[in-house]
Amino acid sequence: MANSEVKTDSEWRAVLSPEQFRILRQKGTEPAGTGKYNKFDGEGIYTCAGCGTPLYKSTTKFNSGCGWPAFFDALPGTVSRHEDRSWGVARTEITCTACGGHLGHVFKGEGYNTPTDERHCVNSISLSFKGNE
């Protein structure tokens, strides 16, 4: 499933908003507390805003207070992890496995009462939502 959505920058720019392109393709970050899904609590599936791949069930979303949507686990095989040293420290970047779009970062061992003790800190603009029907 890795990078099944291969597009040029021009092709991505044609289908993404400028802000989606900045975050999904250039690994940007939206300001804390500004995202559409930060305090959203609908029931359904969060998908990649770039390619539509289902990534997270709403049942794995929790309120971490970090200012971005937080999930404790992804759907199997949909989110890839990569070492990120862009800020001079080792962090774990998460991307959509299907298209390579930047989602955010995952943090471990922060003490949240979740089954995985992980926090997937995801940019809202990297996500779309499909509610249960």
For this structure, is 51 an active site residue?
no
Catalytic residue among 48, 96, 99, 121: 121
Q: How far apart are the first and last CA of the chain?
A: 27
Q: Just list the catalytic residues.
A: 121
